């Protein structure tokens, strides 16, 4: 990491995410998975006092991983101006914060794909076509994606496949058909979108105990251009050790390639350990 990025990283201790989505989009479940907990978050206002009422300015923190700070927006699926204006103002205000720690570092926009709600709502169309998110990366989370599996399963069974065959093939076929479906054509249409999302991720079965939020973690990390923010995000998340290893190798080991003989081993260990703060403890004699 370059000196400027290292200086910024020293000033950052928490990664801040705005999560948006209509009611029953599975937002809380996603956050619980990312923070590896089943418990509900604690909510604080700007003065650090606990709050129970909903307000986009309030901070949601899970005790299992206080390195993440979440801001939750009420869904504006009906396209109402009031809630949309609040979100728009919040994003604009946080983008202008002089301190990087107070800015929004990423936006997760949840869109559920269960059968009753696959079409985009007015609110979602409004957000992507009218809301200027500036340099904040937006990642679209297609939640409840396993609903597509059920559709493909039923189609396969109708075409004569056995239950075992249909169960095995349904996820693959669902992903293939989704690539050419209306949702992605809408999101990445440059003529319609003010700022298309940086990327999207399909998240099935997030309500299961063995749910995998690894793709979300990897995609989010990949959207971060700022080196200090990337390290903060990767090192804060604790559910994907492989990602920590990947970035430690790419951003630390390669930095010392070709100069091993003149490199302080303790410095190498510290740079590697920076990507694993939740398990790495520096000893005085290291």
Question: What span, in angstroms and rounded, lies between the C-alpha atoms of 26 and 110?
Answer: 8
Of 71-75, 126-130, 177-181, the range with the lowest mean pLDDT is 71-75
79 falls within a domain: yes
Q: Which residue has the tokens 């990423």?
A: 106
Residue where a domain terminates, one of 239, 257, 276: 239
Average pLDDT over residues 16-40: 92
- pLDDT class of 42 with cuts at 50, 70, 90: very high
181 falls within a domain: yes
Report the CATH number at residue 63.
Answer: 3.40.50.300
pLDDT at 9 over 60: no
pLDDT above 70 coverage of the chain, percent: 76
- Domain match, 250 and 175 both: no
282 falls within a domain: yes
pLDDT at 6 over 60: no
Q: Other C-beta atoms within 10 Å of 99: how many?
A: 8
Q: What is the pLDDT of residues 191-215, one digit of tens each?
A: 878 888 999 999 999 988 888 888 9
- Domain match, 275 and 156 both: no
- Domain match, 82 and 106 both: yes
8 falls within a domain: no
246: tokens are 């990947």
- Domain match, 208 and 233 both: yes
4 falls within a domain: no
- Domain match, 213 and 247 both: no
- pLDDT class of 286 with cuts at 50, 70, 90: very low
Q: What is the pLDDT of residues 122-161, one digit of tens each?
A: 888 889 989 999 999 999 999 999 998 988 999 999 999 9
- pLDDT class of 34 with cuts at 50, 70, 90: very high
Strand bridging mode 199-203 / 68-72: unpaired
Of 31-40, 107-116, 272-281, the range with the lowest mean pLDDT is 272-281
Question: What span, in angstroms and rounded, lies between the C-alpha atoms of 214 and 52?
Answer: 30
- Domain match, 74 and 160 both: yes
Give 35's Cβ-side CA count (13 Å radius).
25
227 falls within a domain: yes
- Domain match, 260 and 164 both: no
Residue where a domain terminates, one of 223, 239, 255: 239
- Domain match, 164 and 140 both: yes
- Domain match, 46 and 173 both: yes
Residue where a domain terminates, one of 222, 239, 256: 239
- Domain match, 116 and 247 both: no
- pLDDT class of 5 with cuts at 50, 70, 90: very low
Q: Which residue has the tokens 């804060």?
A: 236
Side by side, the strands of the sheet bearing 59-61 are 42-44, 59-61, 68-72, 15-21, 106-112, 138-143, 199-203
Identify the pLDDT of residue 200: 96
Instruction: Give the chain's domain count.
Output: 2
- Domain of residue 262: give its range: 240-286
Identify the pLDDT of residue 79: 57
Find how far residue 94's CA is from the centre of its chain: 18
- pLDDT class of 46 with cuts at 50, 70, 90: confident
């Amino acid at each position: 990491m370059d000196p400027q990025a290292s200086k910024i990283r020293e000033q950052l201790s928490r990664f801040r995410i705005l999560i948006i989505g209509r009611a029953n989009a599975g937002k809380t479940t996603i956050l619980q998975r990312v923070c590896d907990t089943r418990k509900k978050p604690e909510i604080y206002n700007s003065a650090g006092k606990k709050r129970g009422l909903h307000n986009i300015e309030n901070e949601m923190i899970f005790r299992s991983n206080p390195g993440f700070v979440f801001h939750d927006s009420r869904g504006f699926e009906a396209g109402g101006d009031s809630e949309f204006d609040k979100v728009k103002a919040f994003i604009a205000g946080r983008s202008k914060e002089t301190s990087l720690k107070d800015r929004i570092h990423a936006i997760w926009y949840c869109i559920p794909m269960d059968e009753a709600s696959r079409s985009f709502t007015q609110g979602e169309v409004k957000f992507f076509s009218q809301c200027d998110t500036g340099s904040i990366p937006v990642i679209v989370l297609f939640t409840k994606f396993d609903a597509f599996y059920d559709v493909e399963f039923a189609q396969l069974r109708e075409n004569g496949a056995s239950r075992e065959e249909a169960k095995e093939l349904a996820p693959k076929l669902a992903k293939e058909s989704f690539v050419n479906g209306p949702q992605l054509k809408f999101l990445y249409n440059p003529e319609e979108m003010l700022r298309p999302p940086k990327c999207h991720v399909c998240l099935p079965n997030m309500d299961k105990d063995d749910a995998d939020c690894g793709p979300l973690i990897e995609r989010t990390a990949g959207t971060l251009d700022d080196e200090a923010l990337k390290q903060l995000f990767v090192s804060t998340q604790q559910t994907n050790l492989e990602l920590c290893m990947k970035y430690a190798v790419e951003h630390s080991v390669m930095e010392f390639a070709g100069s091993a003989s003149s490199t302080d081993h303790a410095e190498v260990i510290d740079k590697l350990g920076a990507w694993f703060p939740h398990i790495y403890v520096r000893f005085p004699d290291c």
